[in-house]
Amino acid sequence: MPPTATPPARPKLNDGGLLLCRVAGVPVLLSPSWWVGAALIVLLYTPLVGRILPSAGIWESAVLAAVFTVLLAASVLLHELGHCIVALRLGLPVRRVRLFLLGGLSEISRTPPKPTQEGLIAAAGPAVSLVLAVVTGIGWLALVPGGAIWLLVAQTCVANLAVAVFNLLPGLPLDGGRMLRALTWRLTGKRGAGTTAGVIGAGVVAAALIAWALIGLLNNAQDQWLRLGVCVLMAWFVVAGASAEHAAEQRRRWPTGLKLQDLVRPVLQLPAESPVGDALLAAAGRGVVLVRADGIAVGLLDQTAAERLATHAPNEPAERAAEPVDPDTILLDSEPPDAILERVQSVLAWQFLVVDQEGRPSGVLRREDLRGALRSSRE
C-alpha cells in the first residue's frame, strides 16, 4: 500500500466484476474473465454435445453448451459459498466471493490463525461439490437416457465430481493444497513449511494436467480439444496461484532480529479539541492520540490530513484530522511479530495504536515505518 501521502483508497465492492448478489452480507461478483472462460466452454463443448446427441443441431448444441456453462458457474458458486460460510462461522471475515474463468475464489480477509481452521475451510468446498454430484447423480439415474435434460443433469454431475476431485489435488491454491498446508503446519508448527509443501504439490499437479491433455491428443480422445483447453487453463491457474501464495508467505515473515520496539514511535496524548496547528507542532515525529474530555480516544492524528487542514484553518480542532481507532488498529506489544505483520498488511489503516497488557498506549506503529524496515531487510 502507498505511504501516507494520501488517505488509503478502500477498494470498491464491484472492483472485481459484476455484483450478482450478497450471501450473508458477502458480495458475490462475476469477474470479466469469467466471460472468456464461458465462451471457451461453449466453443469446445458444442461439438461434444452434437456427438452425444446426434439429433441436436448446431444451434441446439450451442444452447445446451451455454446452459451447461451457467450450471457449472452455479456449482462453482455453491462450492465457494461452502468455504465462505465455514469461514464466517469460525469468525473470519470474508471480503467477497468472485467467479472467474473456470473457477472461483472466496477472499477471506484474515489468514486462519490455526491449522485446523484452515483445513476445515478448505474441506468445505469439495464437500459441497460432492453433495451436488450425489444429488445430480441420482437425477441422472432416474431420467430416461438420450434427452437434453438428461445430458445437462449428467454433465452437471460429472462436472461437480470433477470440481471436487480437482480441488482435492494436493497443490496450492487448490483446496487440497490448503489441506496439505494445514496438515504440514500442524505437524511442524510452521505455516511456512506447509506453504512450501503446497507449492511443490502445485508443480506436480500442473505437470500432471499437461500430461493428461497430451495423452488425450495422442490417443485422439473424443474430448481432446475440450480437455486440452481446460487443462492448460487449470495448469496456468495452479502455477499462478502457487506463485502468489509463495510470495504472500514471504511477505508474512517478520525479519529476524527486527523488534517491534525499534519501529514504534513514542505516543503523545492531546485533547481532541486542540488546535490542529498546535497538535502538529507537539507531534514532532511522535504518534498523537486525540482524547475527548470524557477520556475516550477518538483517533490518531493523521499527519497528512492535519497538514492540509492547518494550511487554511490552523485553529480547527485536531479531531477533524483524526484517523479512527478501532479493534483492528490496536496492537498488543506482546503479540507475535508475524501476527502484527499480518494485521498491518490486511487492515486499511496508516497507523496502529500499540498498547501494553493493561491497555495503556505505549506507542504508534506507522505502516510506512514497517514497510521501510521490511524493504531494508530484504535488500
Cβ atoms of 70 and 35 closer than 8 Å: no
User: For 359, left (φ over 0), alpha (ψ -120 to 50), or beta?
Assistant: left
Cβ atoms of 167 and 174 closer than 8 Å: yes
Cβ atoms of 156 and 115 closer than 8 Å: no
Q: Residue 54: what pLDDT?
A: 79
Q: Is the pLDDT of residue 161 over 70?
A: yes
Mean pLDDT of 169-194: 94
Is this structure's pTM higher than 0.75?
no
Task: List, for residues 337-368, the tens digit of each pLDDT value.
Answer: 877 887 887 777 889 999 988 888 888 999 88
Q: Residue 1: what pLDDT?
A: 30
Q: Quick one: pLDDT band at residue 379, thresholds 50, 70, 90?
A: low
Least confident of 70-84, 180-194, 319-333: 319-333
The set of catalytic residues is 80
Cβ atoms of 271 and 319 closer than 8 Å: no
Q: Residue 16, SS3?
A: coil
Q: Is the pLDDT of residue 9 over 50?
A: no
d(CA 367, CA 263): 10
d(CA 367, CA 216): 52
Which residue's entry shows cell 475464489? 105
Mean pLDDT of the chain: 87
d(CA 340, CA 66): 47
Task: List, for residues 119-152, the tens digit of each pLDDT value.
Answer: 999 999 999 999 999 999 999 999 988 888 999 9
Q: Is the pLDDT of residue 229 over 90?
A: no
Q: Is the pLDDT of residue 222 over 90?
A: no
Indicate the domain borders of the chain.
18-252, 260-378
Q: What are the backbone dihedrals phi and psi of residue 362, each rounded to the nearest 5 degrees, phi first?
A: -120, -5
Listed residue (30, 27, 25, 59) closest to 42, CA to CA = 59
What CATH superfamily classification does 260-378 receive? CBS-domain (3.10.580.10)
The residues with which 105 forms a beta bridge, in sequence order, are 98
